[in-house]
A = this chain, B = another copy of it.
C-alpha cells in the first residue's frame, strides 16, 4: 500500500501536519508499516493536487509554521474505496532471520549477541504494545491489531527461549574463518574521519 494512501487514512482520523503523520507512523502504525518524511511530504503534495486533501497554515508562536491538512469528501471516499479494494497481504523484512539463516558462518560470540539483541527488541516492542492496549479509546479493529501484535511477539519470545540452547549447542566456530579480511567498501555505517 502506497504511503499516499496511508496518509489519506491518517487524515481520516483527524486533521494533522506532515510531522504529526510521521509520529503516527512511528507510534501507532509502527508495528505494521513505516514511512519517512521523504515519502510523506511529497504524498501530501500530490494528494492536494488531486483534491483529496486541503491545508491551512497555522502561524507559529511557540513553534514553526504548521501546514494543517484536512481530508476532503472526495479524499475520504477515495480512501474507503481503496481500502475495500486492497487485498489482505503482508511481508516481513527481517535482518534477524537473515542473520540466523547464515548462523553457521558467524562466530559463536556474535551469534549470542544477535540472539540477545533480538530478545531485547521483541521485549521492548511487547512492552510498548502492552502500554498501548491500556488506553481505552480504541476501536475494536485497532484493539485487534494490537492484540495480534502482542500474540506474535509472545510467540517469538517463547520460540527464542525454547530453541536458543539447541541452536547454540549445534553451533561450532569455524577453525580459520577469514575474520580479518574485512571489506571496507561496504561497511560505510562506520565512522568517517573528522
List the B side residues contacting A179 at CB < 8 Å: 80-81
Q: Does A33 contact B (CB under 8 A)?
A: yes
Q: How far is the CB of A122 from the nearest CB of chain B, in Å?
A: 9
A110 (CB) vs chain B CBs: closest residue: B84
Contact at A151–B144, with CB atoms within 8 Å?
Answer: no
A78 (CB) vs chain B CBs: closest residue: B183
Q: How far is the CB of A92 from the nearest CB of chain B, in Å?
A: 5
A87 CA to B104 CA, complexed, in Å: 17
Contact at B83–A99, with CB atoms within 8 Å?
Answer: yes
User: A14-22, A53-61, A128-136, A185-193: which one contacts chain B?
Assistant: A185-193
Q: How far is the CB of A112 from the nearest CB of chain B, in Å?
A: 11
Interface residues of A in 136-194 (CB under 8 A from B): 139-142, 144-145, 147-149, 151-152, 154-156, 158-160, 163, 166-167, 170-171, 177-179, 181-183, 185-187, 189
Q: Does A26 contact B (CB under 8 A)?
A: no
A89 (CB) vs chain B CBs: closest residue: B95
If the complex has contacts A95-B89, A96-B89, are A77 and B140 also in contact, measured as CB distance less than 8 A? no
Against B, the Cβ 8 Å flags (1 = close, 0 = not) of A27-40 are 01101111000000
Contact at B91–A94, with CB atoms within 8 Å?
Answer: yes
Q: Does A93 contact B (CB under 8 A)?
A: yes
A-B contact pairs, 11 of them (CB 8 A): A9-B102, A28-B101, A32-B94, A32-B97, A34-B91, A77-B181, A84-B107, A86-B95, A88-B118, A90-B95, A148-B156
Give me the 3 closest cross-chain CB pairs, A-B, nearest first. A103-B141, A78-B183, A155-B155
Besides A77-B178, A103-B140, A104-B140, 11 more A-B contacts (Cβ < 8 Å) are A9-B98, A73-B181, A80-B105, A80-B106, A80-B177, A81-B187, A89-B121, A101-B142, A140-B167, A141-B171, A144-B163
